[in-house]
Amino acid sequence: MTAAFKDLDLSILPPDYRAAFEVLQATAARVWELEEINKRLEHLVAELNHVVHGKKSEKLSDDDRQLAFEDLEVAVAEVEQKQAQVPGGDKPKRKRAAKRNIGNLPDHLPRIEHVMEPDSLECPHCRKLGGRGVIHKIGEDRSERLDIVPVQLRVIVTVRPRYACRSCTDGVTQVSAPAHLIEGGLPTEGAIAHVLVSKYADHCPLYRQSQILARSRIDIHRATLADWTGKAAFHLKPVVDRLAAHLKVSTKLFMDETTAPVLDPGRGKTKTGYLWALARDDRPWDGGDPPGVVFFYAPGRAGENAERFLAGFDGILQLDGYQGCNCLTRPSRKGGDPIRVAHCWAHARRKLKEVFDRDGSEIAAEGLRRIAELYRIEADIRGTAPGQRLATRKARTAPLVAAFGEWLQKQRRRTSAKSRLGEKLAYIHRHWDGLQTFLHDGRVEIDSNSVENLIRPIALNRKNALFAGHDEGGRTWGRIASLIETAKINNVEPFAYLKATLEAIATGHPKSRIDEFLPWNFNPSS
């Protein structure tokens, strides 16, 4: 709509024309506003398509992509709401009603009912006719909405009256003070659990938690929160040690490592530490042992760290192709017999995908097609018993793997060992024995994706916290993350679990019953 038309002085028009022009002017204004809204929506849809399908989206991590989705969807919702407010505008039609969850809120949430009764029970229709009828309830309509009350801060006041006898002077009677995890300290065990979950599950560093508390006029310095965290980590160490011992009696485990930047106090900058994840996940073949993960911290990536963490384990270890773990397969291995290794086909695929994305290599494309056939078979047998998985692999997968091996050697002879493709093919060749382990044991997975998924929260915490303040901070990080991630994969709510565990430790739970503290044994109703 042009500025001249918009700002037209209607007083110069005859009265009969003035009313018509007022309507026309208002209609034109609505049309112009709707056109602007539609342009904005078209732009946002194009941005969403770019995030999903554009070439640059391949450079985004899953977390970065989710952040992009969130911001764009917020913008879309804002524009749609604006569209709904324009007089005469079409109401936006949202196809994804799943966002709303109306009438399907969990039963365990408390319900606060607001009953809206009419002002009077006299029948309004009878009253118009001069009668005095009374209306009766014949039904009701119910609707549910989710309400959120911000974190509730409260003070627990413990009062212990003292009593004395007036007939004698033999002493004073008073109930003993309740046991606390931090004697004489400020926090309850629930407050400590909240700090741990906020830092290690929700990736909110302690200084930010201090700022959040300050908004409620609670002045607790980051150093105080750190003191609580350290004391809790000390008390939880036996539980994590028991969790690790429980995992290491398994017949098959996963292992992977991820970086954990740590402040180097002597130099005033960070150094690279590592969190090694040792995990059990038998759910793909319906195993009886519950899933679990333990994160061990080490200041380096040397294979001797893996030897130390795996002392006492003699089963099959599924891991990537990191050569530092080769010491685990040697007769000289410390802490047990040589370990049988299962290598990861996802890593082999990743090597070929890197070459294909960069060079469009037909050889790499052929390798990717062959590996995809293996994964299609795995999808068919996922969740079945080990015996059935093994039988299917011998009948369908083994011939494909053998053909892949022949193809691999043929391509290595044709490709320069110094080329990018030659290096990737050599990587697969070096790990060929481990890549065939899954053909001989139905419990073994085709890849180590299970443990890679478990270390993703570590990466998120690393992004938010930037670094651990010390090697001991790295060990605390691994210890608390072990309990939180094990709780999560066993569908246990981490806060409730940590609160109950810390309360039990404070009241002197016997060490002989420490297995009751393992996350999969937690019973919230007990």
Sign of CA dihedral 24, 29, 32, 33: negative
| Cα(293)–Cα(201) distance, integer angstroms | 14
Q: Are 451 and 254 in contact (CB under 8 A)?
A: yes
Q: Tokens for 176? A: 């003993």
Q: Which helix (H) or strand (E) holds 22?
A: helix 15-53
Closest by alpha carbon to 245, among 517, 488, 525, 42?
A: 517
221 neighbors 210 (Cβ within 8 angstroms)? yes
Rounded CA-CA distance 515/517 in Å is: 5
CA distance 241 to 511: 12
pTM for the full predicted model: 0.75
Nearest Cα to Cα of residue 242 among 499, 493, 512, 474: 512
In three-state secondary structure terms, 168 is coil
Using CA atoms, how far residue 376 sits from 1, 101, 405, in Å, is: 58, 34, 18
d(CA 87, CA 27): 9
What number of other Cβ atoms are within 10 A of residue 178's Cβ?
A: 10
The per-residue pLDDT string of the chain (526 residues; one tens digit each, 9 = 90 and over) reads 544 555 556 566 666 666 676 777 777 777 777 777 777 667 666 666 665 565 544 445 555 555 455 555 555 555 565 566 666 555 555 444 444 444 567 888 888 888 888 888 888 888 888 888 888 888 888 888 778 777 788 898 989 998 888 888 778 888 988 888 888 788 999 999 999 999 888 888 888 899 999 988 889 888 888 888 888 988 999 999 999 999 999 999 998 888 776 655 555 556 678 888 899 999 888 888 999 999 988 887 777 888 888 888 888 998 886 666 777 777 878 777 888 899 999 999 999 999 999 888 999 999 999 999 999 999 999 889 999 999 999 999 999 999 999 999 999 999 999 899 999 999 999 999 999 999 999 999 999 888 777 767 666 555 554 444 455 677 888 889 999 999 999 999 999 999 999 999 999 989 899 999 999 999 887 6
448 membership: H or E segment, kind and range: none
Give which of 244, 255, 241, 260 is closest to 299, Cα–Cα. 260
Backbone angles phi, psi at 463, to 5 degrees: -65, -35
CA angle, 300 then 244 then 451, to 5°: 65
> Quick check: 172 and 163 in contact, CB under 8 A?
yes
Looking at residue 134, the DSSP 8-state letter turns out to be B
Question: 253 forms bridges with which residues in the sheet?
Answer: 317
Show the DSSP H helices in 382-507 as ranges.
386-392, 398-414, 420-430, 432-435, 449-454, 456-465, 471-489, 494-506
Residues with Cβ within 8 Å of 226's Cβ and at least 6 positions away in sequence, in order, are 206
State residue 285 phi and psi, 5-degree precision.
-120, 20
Distance CA 121, CA 222 (A): 59
- Longest CA–CA span in the chain (Å) reads 107
Encoded tokens for 319: 């891991």
